[in-house]
Amino acid sequence: MIRVLLAEDMHMIRGALVALLDKEPDVAVVADVSSGDAVVPAVLEHRPDVAVLDVQMPGINGLEAASTIFEQLPECRTLILTQIGRPEVLRKALAAKALGFMLKDAPPAELADAIRRVAAGERVIDSNLATATIEAGENPLTAREV
């Protein structure tokens, strides 16, 4: 059984994700929180295998939470689930040691698969965003913007 913590500040979305994941026979949502400040205490209390984190939340953001989780409980892997599909956000997620990065507009069935893969230690990144990140280079600004 893959133990999951879900962090999403929008109550309806969080409830829908919990309901979706509860239908998976090998996934159990052991905790769900609505703020970034609640993520690390919940991770330390429930010790999930995977923490699914939104980027934008009240308190600390999901990227900061992912970094702290890696420092304090490295066996808990993180999957970023966000609507912000920009190369610089993906780079920050990778720097925070997140193994997964998914966009919220992905098909719902892909979330459970991504959780399974991240739990197994695989890196899961939206392929279109990965390509855009590679093509974007280090600085997303154009020469004129710089």
**Residue 134: helix, strand or coil by DSSP?**
helix
pLDDT 10s digits, 38-92: 999 999 999 999 999 999 999 999 999 999 999 999 999 999 998 877 778 888 9
Q: What are phi and psi of 81, to 5 degrees?
A: -120, 110
Residue 67 counted as domain residue: yes
Instruction: Supply the pTM of this predicted model.
Output: 0.88
Residue 136 counted as domain residue: no
CA distance 17 to 6: 8
Residue 109 counted as domain residue: no
> What is the total count of domains within the chain?
1
* CATH code of the domain covering residue 65: 3.40.50.2300
CA distance 54 to 73: 19
Res. 142 pLDDT band, cuts 50 70 90 = low
Q: Would the pLDDT of 143 be above 80?
A: no
Residue 91 counted as domain residue: yes
pLDDT 10s digits, 2-13: 999 999 999 999
Top pLDDT among 122 and 137 is at 122
Residue 130 counted as domain residue: no
Domain that includes residue 46, residue range: 2-103+119-125
Residue pair 77/49 in contact (Cβ under 8 Å)? The answer is: yes
User: Which residue stretches of the chain are H helix?
Assistant: 11-22, 36-46, 62-72, 87-95, 108-119, 127-136
Length of the chain: 146
